[in-house]
Structure 1
Amino acid sequence: MMTARLLDADIALYVAEHYQLEGELTRLPGYCDLNLLMKTAGGQQYIVKVAGDGDAPVYLDLQSQAMNHLAGCGLSVPQVLSDTQGRTLGEIADSAGALFPIRVLNYLPGQFYADLPEGQAFPELWQHLGAFMGLLDKGLSDFRHPGLNRYLDWDLAFGLEVCRDKLDALEGDRRKLVEGFLLQYQTQVKPFLSKLPAGPIHNDANDYNLLVDDLTNPTRISGLIDFGDMCFSQLVNELAIACAYAVLDQPDPVAVIRAVTKGYQSQRPLNEDELKALPYLICLRFCVSVCNSAHAIRQTPDNEYLLISASPVWQALAQFKLLDLAVIGQILTGECLGVNHSGRSKAALMASRQSHFSPTLSLSYNEPLKIVRGLGAYLFDEQGRDYLDMVNNVCHVGHCHPKVVAAAQQQMATLNTNTRYLHDNLVSYGERLLGYFPDKLAVCFLVNSGSEANELAFRLARCASKSRELLVVDGAYHGNTNACVDASPYKFDGPGGEGAAAHIHKVMLPDPYRGPYAGYGPKTGSQYAADIKRVLADLSWQDKKPGAYICESVQGVAGQIVMPQGYLTSVYEQVRAAGGVCIADEVQIGFGRVGEAMWGFETQGVVPDIVTLGKPIGNGHPMAAVITTRKVADAFVTGMEYFNTFGGNPVSCAIGQAVLEVIEEQQLQAHARRTGDYLQSKLKEMAHEFELIGDVRGLGLFIGVELVTDSHRKTPATAQTKLLIEHFKTQRILLSSEGPFNNILKIKPPMVFGQPEADRFLDTLRSGLRGLGQ
C-alpha cells in the first residue's frame, strides 16, 4: 500500500497539530487502511486511520457521518473526532508529497468476537448480537448519504452475480457445492428480493469487527467497528451476515440462527418473506466469501491467509448442505411471527374434496397426509416432518431440483408460446433428446403427458401399418385417455372395466415368478413370446394384421416385472413380420432409471419403431414425448396437420433440457445402478430371514418386492402388504403396493435416493416384518 511510506512520527506530528492530541502510536492489523492505536499520557486511547489507495472521500465521509449519526442510539460504535478546523476528514502528506485522508476515532474497549473459544455455545451473546444489529439498522433508518448508493462485491443484493463471475476460480466438488446453493437462492429468494425492505446497513458484522464484553463468559456485544462496507441494501442482509459469522465452527448452526434472529426481531421486526429468505442469504454470504477468496488466491497464490480464512466457511457450507433451508425458514417464521404454515386442516380439505371433486380421485393411506413441500428424495407435511419418498418416479432428479426450477423460472419470465414460431429451445432440446436414442429413432413429437404420448403413438402406428388392431400385454397400464384405457388390461379388466374392445388383443404377461414359465433366461423368453403366435394366427384367420404391439420395457402396475432375456427380440420379429409396428412404453422407467441403460428397451437388445416418454421427462412438469423412425413419421403425413398447443413450448423444453443436464452432471444413471444393486442384494439376503418375502426383482431403481404367505403356493400376502405400508408411513417412509393382488412393494424413488436412504428403508422393513410375527 502507498500508506507504507508514511512514518509514525509524521502521523503523530499531524495529530498533535490538528487534534491537539499526543501519545504513543502502535500499528494495528488492517486490510486497506493504516490503523494506529494512540495512547496518551493521561491513559486516553484513540484510533488514527489513514485511508489506503482508492478510498474516495465520499465513502470515508459516509462512514464518519453514519457513526456519528448512531451516537444517540445507545450503540457502542466509534465516534469520529473533529479537528481544530471542525473537519472530520483531513489529509496527510507522505515524503513524496502524496496526500492521504486521515481521521481520528475514539477507542472502543473490548475483545474480538473472533477470539472466543471455538465450538462453545453462547445463547445470551447470540441474542444480544441480533438485538445490537437490529437496533443499529433501526437507528440508520432515517440516515441518508450519497455514498450509500454504490456497488460492492460484498453486497448480497449482487451476491448471485458476484459468485457467477468468479465461479471459474473454483473446481470440482467445491464448485458443485457452491452452484447448488446459488441455484437454491436463485429459485427461492431472487425472484422476490426487490420486495424485501431495504435501507442503510453496516454490511460487515464479522467476528473481527465485533467486540464482546468478556472472552470467558461473554453475554454482550460491547462494540462494532469498521463501517467501510456500508451500503443501501436489503435490511435482512445485515442479519444474514451476522448469522453467517456467528455460526462458524458451531455444531448446531440452527440454534445460533434462531437466537440471533430472535434478538434482531426484538428491535427491528422482520416480515415473513425476510425470515424465509434468511437461511438462503446466510448461505449466499458463505458463497460470496469463498468465491471472492478463490478469486483473490488466483491473483496472489502465495497468500496463505486467504486459504486459512476460507477453511471454516467451506466447513459451514458442507454443514448447511445437510440442512433443509426451507424448514429453517419455517421454524423462524413460526417462532418470530407465530405464523401457521399448515393452512386448512386435513379434515377441511377432505370435506372440500368430497364436495367439489369426484370420488374417483383417490387418497393414499388410512389417514391421508397433507404434503406441502418437496426436496430431493423427501416430502414434507404441514408440520415440517420429512417423509422419504420411495414411490415418486415423476420427480426423477429429485423434488424441486433447483436447476430445473431455475430453468422454468427464467424461461417463464421471458417467453412461453407455442411451436408455430421458431425458437432455440425446441430445436436444442429435440436434438439433445434424440442424441440418447439409436440413429434409427430420429423424429421427435413433444406432448403433455404419457397418456397423450401413447395416444399419439397409436395414431402413428395406425398410419404406418394401416391397421388398428392392437396387441397388449395382460395386466398392463398405458394411460387414462379412451384409447389408452382400451389398451390397458389393468383398467378394462379391473373394477368398472368393460373388458377388451374388439380391436384389442391380450398376450401373456411374461412374469418369470408367478407365470407358467420360470426364470429369466432366453428359453423362458421364447416360451412367453410364443403366445404372440396365437394372437397373430387368430388375426390372420380373420384376414387382419396387427397394427401395433405395445409393451412397457419393464412392467409397472402388473408388478414391477423384469421380462426374461430375448422376449422382446422374438416378439418384435413376429409382429414386424406380420406387418405391425412395435411400441416401447418408457413412460415409467425411462431416463436412466434401469441403471444399466438409458432406456429399458436397451436391456432387451431391441430398437422399437416408436418410443413413448413421460413422467420423469419434466421432473413433475407436464410434458412427454414420442420418438419414432423417419418411416413411421412420414406415414403420418396425410394432409391433416398435427398441432399441440402446449407440447414443445419454450418453458417445457427448458425444463426438459435441465433434467437431461442434471442426469449427466450428477451421473444419476450410474447412481441408480449402484444403489439399486445394493438394495436388491440386501433384500435378497433378507428374504432368507423372512419367509414373507417371496421374490425380489427389478432393474436399477425400479424394484418390486413380492410378499407371499406361502412360498410354494405363492399365496399373495395382500393384508400383510397393506399393514407394512402403513408401518412405513408411521416411520415417515412413503411406499405403495402394485400387482393384481396388491401384494408387491413397489420401489421407484427419485433418482437421488442413495445408500443412506436404502439403509433406512431396509431397517424399517425389517422392523415391520418382525412386527408381523415373521
Structure 2
Amino acid sequence: MSCGDEQQSRALTKPTFSDVHASALVESVFGLKVSKVQPLPSYDDQNFHVYISRTKDTSAPDGPTEYVLKISNTESSKTPDLIEVQSHSILFLRAAGFPTASMCRTKGDNITSLVSVDSGSEIKSYVVRLMTYLPGRRIAEVSVSPRLLYDVGRLAARLDKTLETFHHPKVSSLRRENFIWNLKNVPLLEKYLDALDRNRNREIIQQVIRLFKDEVMTKLNHFRECINHGDLNDHNILIEPSKSATGDAGYQVSGILDFDDMSYGYYVFEVAITIMYMMIESESPIQVGGHVLAGFESLIPLTAVERGAVFLLVCSRFCQSLVMAAHACQLQPENKDYLMVTAKTGWKHLELMLDMGQKAVEEIWFETARSYGSEVSL
C-alpha cells in the first residue's frame, strides 16, 4: 500500500461507534458502570467523554469518575505495538511528574484491548483504551502571554529530554518511516497537492517543499535525534489559572493530550512544531517563536545548524497541517469544522512568514530569546 493509499484508508476507516455501543464497550472491556457518554472531536479516531457511576458495589469507589474512551481507526489498529508503546510512554511521563492521563486497565489487566466488530460485510478490529479525563481549558481558548509561551517551550524540551530515558521492548515501533506527520517526511505532501486548488496557496506549498529538500533534508544528519511528542498543538495543551510569586494572575499547564503522533525525530522538530501551533491563535504570530525558543533552549540549547533550520521547519509544519486538513476534508466533509481549525489563520501566517523572509523573522525570534538573558541557562 502506498503512503497516499494508506492515508486515504485511515481517513475512511474512522470508527463510527454510537453512544450506546461506546457505553457497552466500557462496561464489557473495562468492567465499569457508565452513567453517561458524550462524543469528543477527533481527527481520524473516535473519542468519548465517559462518566462512571460509583456504587457501593464498585471495586474502586474512590477512583476517578470521568474518562476518555479512545477507539483507534482500523488502519492504526493494525499496529497495536505502536499504540502500546505510546500508552506506556504516557504512563512513564506521568510517573516523571508530567500532567498526562493515567490508563485504566482492562478486565484482563492490560492497558489496551483489540476489539473485533462484525460490520455486516467484514470483521473490523479496533484498539481501544480508557484514560482518565484531564480537566482544564485548551490553550487555544485564552490570550497566551509571553511567559506562558516560554513555559510551553520549556515543557516541549522537558518532554523530549525525559523521553531519552524511556525504554520499552517495542520502542523501535516509533521509527515510523513514512509517517506523514513526521517533519522529515514533508516531501510526501506532494502526493496530496490535488486537495488544493491551483492557486497561490498551492504555489506556496510547492515553494516550501522545494526549500525543504534543498536546505533541510541535506542537514538531517546534523540534527540530534530524540523521541518527539510531535503534536503539541493549541488543543493538546490544557491550562489552569495560576498566580506568580508577585501575585499576578496567569495560567500554567495542567494537561498534555494526544500522543498518537509520537515518533523518532529531532529536538529541533519539537520546538518548530510547538512554535507553529502557538502561532495559530496569536494576534502577534511572528513574536511567538522567540518566547517558545527561549523556553526550549533553557533546557536544550540548539546548535547553529539546528537554529538555522527552525524557520523552514515551522513553515513546513504549516504546510503539513494545511495540506492534510484539505485532504481529510475531501474524505470527511462532515468533520470540516474540526479539520480546518488551523486553516482559519494558518495560510495567512505562513504567507506572512515567507513574505518577511527567514532573516527578518529570525532576527525577531533570536533577539526575543536573548532578552530572557540568564533564564536561558537555568
Q: Does 1:135 align with 2:158?
A: yes
2:223 alignment counterpart: 196
Contact 2:26 2:34 in 1 (8 A): no
SS in 2 for 1:48: strand
Partner of 1:294: 326
- The TM-score normalised by the length of structure 2 is 0.78
Query: Which structure: greater helix fraction?
Result: 2
1:408 corresponding residue in structure 2: none
Return the offset for 1:72: 2.6
Between the aligned partners of 1:121 and 1:225, the Cα distance in structure 2 is 18
Name the aligned partner's letter for residue 201 of structure 1: N
Q: Which residue of 2 aligns with 1:234?
A: 266
Alpha-carbon distance change, 2 to 134 in structure 1, aligned in 2, over 3 angstroms: closer
Whole-angstrom distance in 1 between the partners of 2:368 and 2:138 = 30
Distance in 1 (alpha carbons) for counterparts of 2:336 and 2:205 = 22
Find the residue that maps to 2:103 and give its secondary structure: coil
Offset at residue 178 of structure 1 (A): 2.7
Alignment counterpart, residue 256 of structure 1, candidates 288, 296, 302:
288
Q: Is the 8 A contact 2:160 2:227 kept in 1?
A: yes
1:54 equivalent in structure 2 = 75
2-side partners of 1:18 and 1:44: how far apart?
Answer: 17
CA contact (8 A) 1:110 1:214 kept: no
Q: How does 1:335-414 map to 2 (within 5 A)?
A: none
> In 2, are the aligned partners of 1:27 and 1:36 still within 8 Å (CA)?
yes
* 2:27 maps to 1:16: yes
Is it true that 1:146 corresponds to 2:169 in the alignment?
Answer: no
Partner of 1:325: 358
Match of residue 43 from structure 2: 31
Aligned residue among 88, 110, 113 for 2:111: 88
Distance 2:103 2:230 in 1: 19
**Which stretch shifts more, 184-193 or 91-100?**
91-100
> In 2, Cα distance between the equivalents of 1:192 and 1:275?
12
Displacement, 1:288?
Answer: 1.8
- Residue 149 of structure 1 aligns with an amino acid whose one-letter code is R
Q: Which amino acid aligns with 1:191?
A: T
CA displacement, residues 371-428 of structure 1 (integer Å, 9 cap, x when unaligned)? xxxxxxxxxxxxxxxxxxxxxxxxxxxxxxxxxxxxxxxxxxxxxxxxxxxxxxxxxx
In 2, Cα distance between equivalents of 1:249 and 1:318: 16
> How many angstroms apart in 1 are the aligned matches of 2:29 and 2:333?
42
Match of 2:92? 69
- Counterpart of 2:134 in structure 1 is 108
Equivalent of residue 224 in structure 1, options 247, 251, 256:
256
Q: Distance in 2 between matches of 1:124 and 1:67?
A: 26
Q: Tell me the SS of whatever aligns to 2:130.
A: strand
CA drift of 1:75 comes to 1.0
Alpha-carbon displacement from aligned partner over 1:319-368 (angstroms, at most 9, x marks no partner) = 21232323444565566689xxxxxxxxxxxxxxxxxxxxxxxxxxxxxx
Which residue of structure 2 aligns with residue 172 of structure 1?
199
State the shift of 1:210 in Å.
1.5
Match of 2:346 in 1: 313
Taking the aligned partners of 1:143 and 1:240, their CA distance within structure 2 comes to 22
Instruction: Verify the 8 A CA contact 1:35 1:49 in the aligned structure 2.
Output: yes
- Listed one character per residue, the Cα deviations across residues 459-483 of structure 1 (whole Å, up to 9, x for unaligned) are xxxxxxxxxxxxxxxxxxxxxxxxx
Cα 1:73–1:308 shift into 2, 3 Å: closer
Within the candidate set 293, 317, 334, 1:285 is matched to: 317
Counterparts of 2:190 and 2:320, CA distance in 1? 10
Q: 1: distance between equivalents of 2:199 and 2:23?
A: 51
Contact 2:291 2:369 in 1 (8 A): no
TM-score w.r.t. length of structure 1: 0.40
Structure 1 residue 228 displacement after superposition: 0.9
Amino acid of the structure 2 residue aligned with 1:278: V
Aligned-partner residue type, residue 157 of structure 2: G
Alignment check: 8 A CA contact 1:37 1:46 kept: yes
Residues 190 and 331 of structure 1, relative CA distance in 2, 3 Å threshold: farther
Change (3 A) 1:121 1:60: closer
Are 1:126 and 2:126 counterparts?
A: no
Structure 1 letter corresponding to 2:347: W
- CA-CA distance at 1:297 after TM superposition: 4.6
Q: Which residue of 1 aligns with 2:376?
A: none
CA distance in 1, matches of 2:281, 2:135: 25
**Superposed displacement of residue 98, structure 1:** 4.2
* Alpha-carbon distance between aligned partners in 2 of 1:128 and 1:2, rounded to the nearest angstrom: 34
Identity, in percent, stands at 24
Q: 1:45 aligned to 66, 79, 86, which one?
A: 66
Are 1:276 and 1:332, in contact at CA under 8 Å, matched by a contact in 2?
A: no
Residues 121 and 44 of structure 1: is their aligned pair in 2 closer, same or farther, counting only changes over 3 Å? closer
Report the CA distance shift for 1:291/1:247 in structure 2 as closer, same or farther (over 3 A).
Answer: same
Assess, with a 3 A threshold, how the Cα gap between structure 1 residues 200 and 44 changes in structure 2: closer, same or farther. same
Letter in structure 2 aligned against 1:100? Y
How many angstroms does 1:90 deviate by? 1.3
Q: Which residue of 2 aligns with 1:243?
A: 275
Distance in structure 2 (CA, Å) of the matches to 1:16 and 1:291: 39
Distance 1:59 1:218, change over 3 A: farther
Task: State the alpha-carbon separation in 2 of the partners of residues 53 and 37 from structure 1.
Answer: 21
Q: How many residues align?
A: 333
SS of 2:255's equivalent? strand
Q: Distance in 2 between matches of 1:185 and 1:83?
A: 44
Instruction: Compute the displacement of 1:200 (Å).
Output: 0.9
Cα distance, 1:321–1:249 mapped onto 2, change above 3 Å: farther
Query: Is contact 1:272-1:333 (8 Å) kept?
Result: no
Check the 8 A contact 1:75/1:132 in 2, yes or no: no
For structure 2, the residue ranges without an aligned partner over 5 or more in a row are 1-12, 55-63, 243-248, 372-378
What SS does structure 1 have at the residue aligned with 2:101? coil
1:271 aligns with 2:303: yes
Within 5 Å, give how 1:502-651 maps onto structure 2: none
Find the residue that maps to 1:289 and give its secondary structure. helix
The structure-2 alpha-carbon separation of the partners of 1:317 and 1:146, relative to structure 1 and needing over 3 Å to count, comes to: same
Q: Deviations over 1:585-630 (max 9, x none)?
A: xxxxxxxxxxxxxxxxxxxxxxxxxxxxxxxxxxxxxxxxxxxxxx
Match of 2:189 in 1: 163
8 Å contact 2:228–2:267 — kept in the other structure?
A: yes
| Separation of aligned partners in 2, 1:95 and 1:111 | 38
Show the 5 A alignment for 1:676-695: none
Unaligned runs of 5+ in 1: 339-774
Q: Contact (CA 8 Å) 2:290, 2:366: kept in 1 or not? A: no
Q: Per the alignment, in what secondary structure is the counterpart of residue 204 of structure 2? A: helix
Contact persistence 1:272–1:337 (CA under 8 A): no
Q: CA deviation at 1:2?
A: 6.5
Offset from partner CA, 1:231-268 (integer Å, 9 cap, x none): 11122111111110111243433321111111111233
Q: Which has the larger radius of gyration?
A: 1
Shift of 1:194: 2.1
Q: How far apart are the structure 2 equivalents of 1:102 and 1:19?
A: 10
